[in-house]
Amino acid sequence: MPRRDDISKILLIGAGPIVIGQACEFDYSGAQACKALREEGYEVVLVNSNPATIMTDPGFADRTYVEPLTEEALTAIIRRERPDALLPTMGGQTALNLAVRLEESGVLKRYQVELIGATADVIRRAEDRGLFKKAMAEIGLAVPRSGSAHSLEEARQVQAEIGAWPVILRPGFTLGGAGGGIARNAAEFEAICANGLALSPVGEVLIEESVLGWKEFEMEVMRDRKDNACIVCSIENLDPMGVHTGDSITVAPAQTLTDREYQALRDASLAVMRVIGVETGGANVQFAVNPSDGRLVVIEMNPRVSRSSALASKATGFPIAKIAAKLAIGYTLDELPNDITRSTPACFEPSLDYIVVKAPRFAFEKFQGSDDTLTTQMKSVGETMAIGRNFKQALQKALRSLEIGRAGLVRRADAEGQLADAELEKAVARPSPLRLFHLREALARGWEIDRVARLSGVDPWFLRQIAEIVAFEEEIAAAKTLAGLEADRALFAQTKEFGFSDKQLAVRLGVAEGEVRAARERIGLRPTFGVVDTCAAEFAAATPYFYSAYGDEPEAPLPPAEKKKIMILGGGPNRIGQGIEFDYCCVHACQALRKAGYETVMVNSNPETVSTDYDTSDRLYFEPVTLEDVLEVYRRERCDGAIVQFGGQTPLNLALELKAAGVNVIGTSPENIEKAEDREFFKQLADQVGVKQPANGTATDLAGALAVARRVGFPVLVRPSFVLGGRAMAIVYTEPFFEKFCAEAFAASEGRPVLIDKFLEDAVEVDVDCIADGEIEVIGAVMEHIEKAGIHSGDSACAIPPQGLDPALVDRIREHTQALARGLNVRGLMNVQYAVQDGEVYILEVNPRASRTVPFVSKATGVPLAGYAARVMAGESLKKIGFTQEVVLRHVAVKEAVLPFARFPGCDVRLTPEMKSTGEVMGMDPDPGMAFVKSQQAAGNPLPGEGGVFISVSGERPSDRVEMVKFAKELVEMGYGIWATCGTATLLRESGVPARAAFAISEGRPHVLDLVLDGAVGWIVNVPSGCQPQLDEVKMRTEAVRRGIPMTTTIRGLRAALDGLKTLRRNAEFEVLSLQEYNRATARKGGRKS
């Protein structure tokens, strides 16, 4: 059946901001879907609030709406665009939920929009636990015994029916299992239930028999409208049931199933797909298998593309999202070609002749106080995937890709090595980010595999692999020296087959990594590169998608290069501070350079990204972004240059070593990138440019640091050098706290100096992105922060163009920026951060590289900054490219951060100089206030239009109190009721503002939490006090985050909110505009001379 001709315009919903459980894998799938649909001649209308996505690049859809993913905005877009169909399966849970709401509210029917890919019934059957259970019973498949509850009372009954502890709790319709957990007793049960009921948008919690410790498997299934179906990939979780699959180390294909057992899973997956009714597209089915008798139960199914389907696509070469999109518009699997072989059809099941290991990356260090036990609620912020010829290679590659200070399955004497046996026993039994290393330690101490398996629930097959890696270290030790290893080529080769990195060997043998590399090269021991070909070499592959392996004979030689080759280094696993924004830059570099006639070579290890899609670059290497792995690719490909400044800190950290090893690092020189962190040089540069710096100094020890702090005076900003995302950065107000924060900064700095700046209070922060080619410097955009200085720029809302700054001052900032670019001899991108205090401009930081704000600036202005920068680095001039002037906007774009605090109970909800947000959204509107309101809606914190507002402003800054009175007055005029702490309420009443007093939590009741519980208060304005959070404030903010109540923490934020709310009231209807329309308006207006 060919494509459907009865539809022509298709609406696609993206997944919105990056949050835990829903990350850039949906950009990857959405971008693929957009391409697939347009390729077929459909008109594509795309909605996504996330500006850092590739899919929202204006070229990917006919109309791109960067608008909040709310029913209101979607209705406005549907009304305006009148699409024939809505494809809801590409944007994760967000898109599915939204599609169901639009269907239930009758919008889809009214505007005659057909749901394709998954109908509302299918979504409900898959998501509603009761319906799902019924469907499974119909096809004779077991599910864990369970029941759903809508109240605590009902929940207790269900638990009593199951009749055993522990039980698993899952709130209905939440992302990545948010609010779920394992209850081992009644107390835990009540707590998790209450939280889950609150978090579930439908107020439902599923209570389930525990299958803790069972083996967990996932199957990725495709089905077309003729009922042809195939399994794309099987995935086995190394961590047993009880750990969310997103937090598990997973392996593809499944390793411990006989054919009989595997086929039972396959049959069950297809039956689930059919009974749920997914007619076209992909789905993911999760199973638990009892390791002692093989009893099989179905856990859940997702009738959409998912994180696992992105992983499966990267692991097999089968582009699930692309094919799913084509199936949704009428094709059948046999009509579509397999992209990789091009000679065989997509209707087949990929066969792997390698092993894939995915490992999650966590960020608990950013959320102190939270428990790092892994549960059914996902907590990881990123992942890395590695491909090896065997499991050991894949595992060790995955671990070194994680960048957690371990070059493989390495023991740390100062961590797990310190644990007494009894502690280790507990650590082995408790799933945590470091459990794999605890398993390793236990096996190294000679614990029997069976004992470790019993404690951990990890299959003995995996434990044996780990034990063999550990045991093999003795073998390496037998070589005694590097010379010994070099003399025994067979042993050296075997070492590499076991996945040991040069760095691991260097540490073992007490030499430098470079020496190991040199020895390896002397005996010609080099990796060979396998092709990810979907078919285990049965057919020739047309797509160059590679991985390295050892112990193999070389595959077909490289085709002769016809063009210049540029290597682009990606950022590895996502983490807070280094995520999709940098991948966006890498993808743009690939696109722009390919268009400009270069051949591009991509190296990255992140399976979620667009950069690791096989058709983003000319040649894709799915490899760890480490010196050893990158060098081997560079040499094999004989690249002409490498771009290190787009992938974030990961490739930047390699820049000098790559250069020393002969790599031609193009763009701003690594030395100058490094120099920008050098305080002495920076001071000279600032003086030369004529811009002030806050008083500052550097120190290499605690005493020195304290001396600097005393000299510049408290409060001070303490930060390590060479980190991204403000790791271990803090504002310290008084000496007693200084030592603690400073110690953390020294730890994060890893031997490099710690920087101490005078902290500028009540300052406005300004970010500038700029591009330079050695001749001219062009400003990308000037961004004004809405939060005060002192909050990490990644966590701060900001606006383009600046809303509250004097134009002359903004011009001064532009000039400083250009002078800095000249001073640093920038070839490519540069980001500068300033603080403005009392009309005075201070420079805080210069980074001559791609910044997190590049995609936001590009979306707001329509200028593809990263692509231009890549061409500049390859030698083109900005004049030739045609970008010589800053663009002037007629609209306003506001970026807002999205924070993951709800995932980390126990951690203080607080914005600091250390970045904590996982993602961002953009609100765009011709009206500044409305742009802010849209950004808040998009971030999931819509401001209430009425009701009670609780105000608490600390007494430390009198200016805050004055402004607060002004705003409280406006709130009352708009009809809000004001609640405040006793002191604040008195002050307000004295100023003529009616306000009711509530106790602070520690003072008595009713206090603010009671008001929140009663529903009297739906918005909290809490401007926190200085350094150490007061207990009350922590409790209040925690509760607000838990209940999803919007909270404003700065006076500036409050002002923006009020402006926006007023606009919202003025406008009768929610208005939307597409990026293409904004860009057209911008282009007509023309640029300002920069």
Place of tokens 């922590």: 1034
- Distance of closest approach, residue 222 Cβ to another protein, in angstroms: 11
The mark string for 293-312 relative to another protein (x by CB under 8 A, - otherwise) is xx------------------
| Number of other residues whose CB lies within 10 A of the CB of residue 161 | 11
- Between strands 167-171 and 181-183, the pairing is antiparallel
With a CB cutoff of 8 Å and minimum separation 6, the contacts of 310 are 25, 26, 28, 29, 320, 321, 607, 608
With a CB cutoff of 8 Å and minimum separation 6, the contacts of 522 are 486
- Distance of closest approach, residue 422 Cβ to another protein, in angstroms: 19
- Distance of closest approach, residue 537 Cβ to another protein, in angstroms: 4
Question: Is position 454 an interface residue for another protein (rule: CB under 8 A)?
Answer: no
**Strand 840-847's sheet: what is its strand order?**
840-847, 828-837, 764-772, 777-788, 798-800, 892-898, 919-925
Of the ranges 228-236, 401-409, 583-591, 1004-1012, which one interacts with another protein (CB under 8 A)? 228-236
Of the ranges 221-229, 419-427, 616-624, 871-879, which one interacts with another protein (CB under 8 A)? 221-229
Of the ranges 202-210, 530-538, 717-725, 809-817, which one interacts with another protein (CB under 8 A)? 530-538
Calpha distance 131→146 (Å, rounded): 12
Residue 1007's φ and ψ, nearest 5 degrees, are -110, -175
The only residue of 491, 596, 805, 1081 in contact with another protein, by rule CB under 8 A: 491
Calpha distance 76→45 (Å, rounded): 13
The only residue of 161, 267, 671, 946 in contact with another protein, by rule CB under 8 A: 267
The only residue of 228, 370, 373, 884 in contact with another protein, by rule CB under 8 A: 228
Question: Is position 636 an interface residue for another protein (rule: CB under 8 A)?
Answer: no
**Residues β-bridged to residue 696:** 757
Query: Could you tell me if residue 541 is left (phi over 0), alpha (psi between -120 and 50 degrees) or otherwise beta?
Result: beta
Of the ranges 428-436, 550-558, 605-613, 1007-1015, which one interacts with another protein (CB under 8 A)? 550-558
Question: Is position 153 an interface residue for another protein (rule: CB under 8 A)?
Answer: no
- Distance of closest approach, residue 556 Cβ to another protein, in angstroms: 8
Residue 470, CA distances (Å) to 433, 442, 444, 479, 686 in order: 20, 10, 6, 16, 52
The only residue of 16, 147, 246, 350 in contact with another protein, by rule CB under 8 A: 350
The only residue of 6, 292, 680, 1004 in contact with another protein, by rule CB under 8 A: 292
Question: Is position 448 an interface residue for another protein (rule: CB under 8 A)?
Answer: yes
Question: Is position 467 an interface residue for another protein (rule: CB under 8 A)?
Answer: yes
Residue 46's φ and ψ, nearest 5 degrees, are -115, 140
- 874 Cα distance to chain centroid: 29
Calpha distance 299→308 (Å, rounded): 15
| Number of other residues whose CB lies within 10 A of the CB of residue 173 | 18
Residue 35 vs 392, nearer CB to another protein: 392
What 3-state DSSP class applies to 382? Answer: strand
- Distance of closest approach, residue 623 Cβ to another protein, in angstroms: 17
Question: Is position 291 an interface residue for another protein (rule: CB under 8 A)?
Answer: yes
Question: Is position 345 an interface residue for another protein (rule: CB under 8 A)?
Answer: yes
Question: Is position 946 an interface residue for another protein (rule: CB under 8 A)?
Answer: no
The only residue of 512, 536, 1013, 1031 in contact with another protein, by rule CB under 8 A: 536
Residue 10's φ and ψ, nearest 5 degrees, are -120, 130
Residue 441 vs 1059, nearer CB to another protein: 441
What 3-state DSSP class applies to 102? Answer: helix
Question: Is position 447 an interface residue for another protein (rule: CB under 8 A)?
Answer: yes
Strands (E) located in 434-533: 528-531
Tokens of 90: 């590409």
Question: Is position 424 an interface residue for another protein (rule: CB under 8 A)?
Answer: no
Question: Is position 351 an interface residue for another protein (rule: CB under 8 A)?
Answer: yes
With a CB cutoff of 8 Å and minimum separation 6, the contacts of 957 are 761, 762
Local structure of residue 541 (DSSP, 8 states): -
- Residues in 468-487 at the binding interface with another protein, rule: CB under 8 A: 468, 470-472, 474-475
- Distance of closest approach, residue 29 Cβ to another protein, in angstroms: 23
The only residue of 459, 502, 599, 787 in contact with another protein, by rule CB under 8 A: 459
- 747 Cα distance to chain centroid: 24
The mark string for 650-669 relative to another protein (x by CB under 8 A, - otherwise) is --------------------
Question: Is position 342 an interface residue for another protein (rule: CB under 8 A)?
Answer: no
The mark string for 493-522 relative to another protein (x by CB under 8 A, - otherwise) is -x----------------------------
How many residues bind another protein (CB under 8 A)? The answer is 71
Tokens of 819: 């002078």
Calpha distance 315→336 (Å, rounded): 20
Residue 262 vs 714, nearer CB to another protein: 262
- Residues in 362-401 at the binding interface with another protein, rule: CB under 8 A: 389-391
- Distance of closest approach, residue 113 Cβ to another protein, in angstroms: 30
Residue 266 vs 588, nearer CB to another protein: 266
Place of tokens 């924004």: 581
Calpha distance 602→611 (Å, rounded): 7
Query: b/e per residue, 993-1029, with b = 16+ CB within 10 A?
Result: bebeebbbbeeeeebbbebbeeebbbbbbbbbbbbeb
The only residue of 106, 140, 164, 258 in contact with another protein, by rule CB under 8 A: 258
- Distance of closest approach, residue 824 Cβ to another protein, in angstroms: 47
Question: Is position 449 an interface residue for another protein (rule: CB under 8 A)?
Answer: yes
